[in-house]
Structure 1
C-alpha cells in the first residue's frame, strides 16, 4: 500500500510526467461531459440525453485507469486528474438532482459534509508539507456505487414505467455508496492524523 510523504506521495506504480496520453484524454473528455450534462438536464430538459451523458461519464471512471495500466501510461497528471473528475461529476450531479428534486437535499448535504471534511484535512496536510493520501479501495468502491446510482435514479424519472424498479435499485446503490463514502472518509482522516502527528514529533 503506497504511503504519503513530505513533498508528495509514494506510489507502487512508476509514473511519468507525460500529459498527452490516452487515459488523460479520456479523463478530460469526462470533464467536458459535466457542463453538457448540466445543460441537458437543467436547461434543455432532455432527460434521456442527459442520462446517456451520465452513463458514459460514469463508465469512463474505470476505463481511464484500466487503459493507463494496460498501456503503461500511468502519469502524475492522470493520477491527479482522475479523482478531480470523479468529484466534479458527483458534485455536479448532486447539485442538478437536488435542483430537480430527484434526490432530497439531506442526501446532498451528507455528501458535501464529507467532502468538506476531506478538503480541510488535505489543506492541513499541504500546510505540513505532505501530499495527498493515496486513494483507498473503499473510496473507489463508494465512488463506483454513487456513479452507478445516479443514472438509475435519473432513469426512474426520464423513462416512463421504469420507476417501479429503477427507484429502489438506485436508492439501494446510493445509500450504500453514501455509507462507504463516509467510511472511506473516516479512514482517510485517520491516515491524515497519523501523518500530522508523525510530522509534529519530528519537529
Structure 2
C-alpha cells in the first residue's frame, strides 16, 4: 500500500466521516444532526463512485471507507443511546452487523494470505449501511417508527453476516 494512494479524493471523502461522527456526538440539535447525516451519506455515495469512475480504487480506500462508515454509525447511535432516545437492545441490534464483521475481519486478517480485499464491500453490507442511515434519519425525525426499522435492520444484518461469512469461507477455500 503506497502512501501516495492514501491522499486521494475518494479517501479524503471517506475520512471526512470521522470528524462528522465526532460532531454528531457533540451536537444535539436535530437540524444540525440532519445536516451531518446528509453530509455523511453524501460522502459515502461519492467516495466509491469517484474512485471507480476515475480508476482510483486503492487498498487504503478498502480500509478507510468501512472504518469511517462504522465509526459514523457507532458515534451517531451512541449519541442517541446516551440521551435515552434509543434503547440498549435496539442499539445492539442496529450495530450487530458491524460488531460481527469487525470481529470477523480482525480474525481473518490474522490468517496467512488474507487481506482486506478478500472480504471487501458486499451488496448485503451496503444494504445494512443504508438501513442504518435510515434508522438515524428516523431517530431524528420519526422516532416512533424505530420498532419496524430495528426489525428490518436486524434481519438484514443476519443476512449480511451470513453473506460475509460465506464469502470469507470461499476466499479461504481458494487459498488452500
- Confirm whether residue 139 of structure 1 aligns to residue 115 of structure 2: no
Separation (CA, whole Å) in 2 of partners of 1:39 and 1:57: 15
Normalising by structure 1, what TM-score? 0.73
Structure 2: which 5+ residue stretches go unaligned? none
Based on CA coordinates, which of the two structures has the bigger radius of gyration? 1
Aligned ranges 1:116-131 → 2 under 5 Å: 116-129=99-112, 130-131=114-115
* Residue equivalent to 1:180: 156
Shift in alpha-carbon separation, 1:69–1:196, aligned structure 2, 3 A: closer
Normalising by structure 2, what TM-score? 0.83
Shift in alpha-carbon separation, 1:38–1:139, aligned structure 2, 3 A: same
Shift in alpha-carbon separation, 1:148–1:110, aligned structure 2, 3 A: closer
Is 1:142–1:180's contact at 8 Å kept on the other side of the alignment? yes
Q: Which structure: greater helix fraction?
A: 2
What is the total number of aligned residue pairs between the two structures? 173
SS in 1 for 2:5: coil
Could you tell me how far 1:19 is from its partner in structure 2?
2.1
* Residue equivalent to 2:75: 92
1:59 paired residue among 24, 30, 42:
42
Structure 1 residues 39-67: Cα deviation after superposition (integer angstroms, max 9, x where no partner): 112xxxx2321221122212321111112
- Confirm whether residue 149 of structure 1 aligns to residue 135 of structure 2: yes
Is 1:17–1:75's contact at 8 Å kept on the other side of the alignment? no
- Confirm whether residue 31 of structure 1 aligns to residue 18 of structure 2: yes
Separation (CA, whole Å) in 2 of partners of 1:28 and 1:116: 20
* Residue equivalent to 1:20: 7
Is 1:146–1:178's contact at 8 Å kept on the other side of the alignment? no
* Residue equivalent to 1:160: none
CA RMSD of aligned residues (A): 2.6
Structure 1: which 5+ residue stretches go unaligned? 1-7, 9-15, 157-162
Could you tell me how far 1:196 is from its partner in structure 2?
4.6
Could you tell me how far 1:127 is from its partner in structure 2?
2.1
* Residue equivalent to 2:33: 50
Runs of 4+ in structure 1 off by over 3 angstroms are: 111-116, 170-175, 193-199
Separation (CA, whole Å) in 2 of partners of 1:21 and 1:179: 35
